[in-house]
Amino acid sequence: MRSSLATLSRALVFPCVIALIACLVGPVAAVTCTELVTPNPGDVLDNGCIDRSDSIHWAFDWTDCPGATAYHLYVQHAGALGPAIDDNTLLSSDYVSDEAGSYILDAKRFDWRWKVQAFVDGQWGEWTAERSFDVEPLSTDCSSTPVKKRTWGKLKSLYH
């Protein structure tokens, strides 16, 4: 009888203790399952031209996360109020941004940061550690060739 009572007591108490701990600690933290590949720390990325004859072309790459159904890329200048890129609908572990006719002022060239998180099993994992990069000086690689501008999801030529 004692053995049955002890077993019954453990069977009733153990789940309650686990539930109490979960309540106090909160949900189990998600893990980071991806790593940043490029750009590397200190890399210098493309900038546009003051005459808008060149676009900004940035490429980001990170490792695949097993079971991930989406990724969230976040890119921001250290002094900015908001992100330059904040996209949580990515289905692959890379991202290319082409911003036609755009440029970054030389005063904002340094101290850009990027990070990624993966969506696995119905929840967002932890962010990767942030990585920094810089942007080349304004008008470094300008040409007189017209750029393509995105308009309502379509491309059209803009002649200057």
pLDDT tens-place string over residues 5-62: 444 344 444 443 333 333 333 444 456 789 999 999 999 999 999 999 999 999 999 9
Is 153 a residue whose pLDDT tops 70?
A: no
pLDDT tens-place string over residues 64-97: 999 999 999 999 999 899 999 999 999 999 999 9
What per-residue confidence (pLDDT) applies to 130? 97
What per-residue confidence (pLDDT) applies to 32? 78
Closest CA to 113 of 57, 58, 33, 56: 58
- Longest C-alpha distance within the chain, in Å? 93
* In contact, 35 and 127? CB cutoff 8 Å: no
Lowest mean pLDDT among 16-20, 56-60, 116-120, 122-126: 16-20
Which ranges in the chain belong to alpha helices (H)? 2-25
Reported as a pLDDT band with limits 50, 70 and 90, residue 133 is very high
DSSP category for residue 65: -
Is 4 a residue whose pLDDT tops 80?
A: no
Reported as a pLDDT band with limits 50, 70 and 90, residue 113 is very high
For 5, left (φ over 0), alpha (ψ -120 to 50), or beta?
A: alpha
pLDDT tens-place string over residues 93-110: 999 999 999 999 999 999
Q: Report residue 100 as tokens.
A: 């036609």
Domain ranges of the chain: 36-158
Number of separate helices (H) and strands (E) present in the chain: 1, 11
DSSP category for residue 52: S
What per-residue confidence (pLDDT) applies to 1? 53
Reported as a pLDDT band with limits 50, 70 and 90, residue 142 is confident
Task: List the CATH code of the domain at 36-158.
Answer: 2.60.40.10
